[in-house]
């Protein structure tokens, strides 16, 4: 990884690299717990989904009727999150080269894309509530609001952290940027969750 | 990562890799949507959809999250919880998706719900 270029720079550089590795390892362990949490949601969804009768076109409404969902809105949001993952990795790349300006620019772009995702998600929720669809409509929408809601909260936390990190970007350089790296890991994880939610919830 | 791997990795500029991964993710998203328009059967659609999602996730984990350049055992941190999730899902399938087998139905095509609670919009029982 780019941060390893710190090795061999000045006194205590090896200790610094070891500390950086520990920070990343800690973040990966945290993400493992997040995998379990979202994994439990998805497992519950799959169990309920595979237990429910198949929704037939023109047939009676089932517990997994999701005709009101818009895959086009979700597809747009997928593109937004994928693009935000790219800007995030570019931000890490920039700070690993010591370029604070570019790091900050890419970080703000990531936060803006995250905010756009939330706005679109809010619009989607508003459409559902406008059609009197809520978490208690049927089993599917209970799962839908739970999974996308928790994911949305993670995006919101990520956007707040990105703005905070962009504000303090002057504290980081090519040898000290563990918070940027860990924030990037978190943000990519949020993207990962959506990569699975999009086909499972909207397409299949 | 090891020092040797770190120095080897840091010697490369990954900008082109990141662009390639972005393009691959965009193409795979398009393929996911396009394929969902076709019907390969319930099992086929689920399998293809999840397979593409897994490829996309692997690209993000390996290249954007740099797991490819970390120590190999770190992959276990990701794979172990995924294995547990698979066990949770798999252990329930005999009672849900696969229960059609017990009375001659096709896997995942059994129209009879095994859980007969369905909220407001569910079938009346």
pLDDT digits (tens, 9 = 90+) for A83-117: 999 999 999 999 999 899 999 999 999 999 999 99
Report the candidate in B57, B62, B78, B18 with the shortest Cα–Cα distance to residue A25. B78
Residue B96: burial class (beta carbons within 10 Å; 0-12, 13-18, 19+): buried
Write the burial class of residue A4 (CB in 10 Å: 0-12 exposed, 13-18 middle, 19+ buried).
buried
CB contact under 8 Å between A203 and B3, yes or no, is no
Task: Enter the ipTM.
Answer: 0.85
Choosing among B22, B77, B121, which should be mutated to test the A contact, i.e. which has the most A CBs within 10 A? B121
pTM of the model: 0.83
Q: Which of A120, A188, A187, A133 is nearest to A157 (CA)?
A: A187
A-B C-beta contacts closer than 8 Å? 182
pLDDT digits (tens, 9 = 90+) for B50-76: 899 999 999 999 999 998 888 888 889
- Give yes or no for a contact between B114 and A44, defined as CB atoms under 8 angstroms apart: no
Tell me how crowded residue B103 is: count the other CB atoms within 10 A of its CB.
8
- Among chain A residues, the shortest Cα distance to B36 is held by A203
d(CA A173, CA B36): 45
Name residue A147's beta-bridge partners.
Answer: none
User: What was the pLDDT predicted at A59?
Assistant: 63
Q: What sign has the CA pseudo-torsion A174, B75, B44, A63?
A: negative
């Amino acid at each position: 990884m780019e941060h390893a270029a710190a090795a061999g720079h000045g006194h205590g550089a090896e200790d610094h690299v070891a500390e950086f590795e520990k920070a990343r390892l800690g973040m990966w362990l945290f993400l493992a717990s997040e995998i379990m949490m979202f994994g439990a949601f998805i497992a519950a969804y799959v169990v309920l989904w595979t237990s429910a009768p198949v929704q037939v076109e023109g047939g009676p409404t089932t517990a997994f009727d999701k005709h009101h969902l818009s895959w086009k809105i979700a597809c747009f949001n997928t593109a937004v999150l994928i693009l935000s993952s790219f800007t995030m990795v570019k931000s890490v790349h920039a700070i690993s080269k010591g370029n604070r300006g570019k790091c900050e620019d890419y970080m703000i772009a990531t936060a803006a894309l995250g905010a756009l995702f939330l706005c679109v998600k809010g619009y989607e929720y508003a459409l559902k509530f406008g059609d009197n669809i809520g978490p208690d409509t049927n089993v599917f929408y209970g799962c839908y609001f739970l999974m996308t809601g928790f994911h949305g909260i993670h995006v919101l936390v990520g956007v707040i952290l990105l703005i905070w990190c962009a504000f303090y970007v002057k504290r980081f350089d090519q040898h000290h940027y563990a918070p940027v790296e860990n924030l990037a890991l978190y943000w990519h994880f949020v993207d990962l969750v959506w990569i699975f939610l999009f086909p499972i919830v909207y397409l299949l | 990562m090891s020092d040797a791997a770190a120095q080897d990795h840091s010697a490369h500029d990954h900008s082109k890799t990141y662009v390639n991964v972005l393009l691959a993710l965009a193409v795979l998203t398009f393929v996911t949507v396009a394929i969902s328009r076709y019907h390969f059967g319930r099992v086929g659609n689920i399998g293809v959809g999840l397979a593409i999602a897994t490829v996309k996730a692997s690209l993000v984990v390996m290249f954007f999250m740099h797991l490819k350049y970390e120590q190999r055992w770190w992959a276990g941190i990701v794979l172990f919880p995924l294995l547990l999730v698979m066990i949770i899902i798999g252990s329930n399938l005999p009672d849900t998706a696969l229960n059609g087998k017990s009375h001659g139905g096709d896997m995942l095509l059994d129209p009879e719900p095994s859980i007969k609670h369905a909220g407001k919009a569910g079938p009346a029982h």
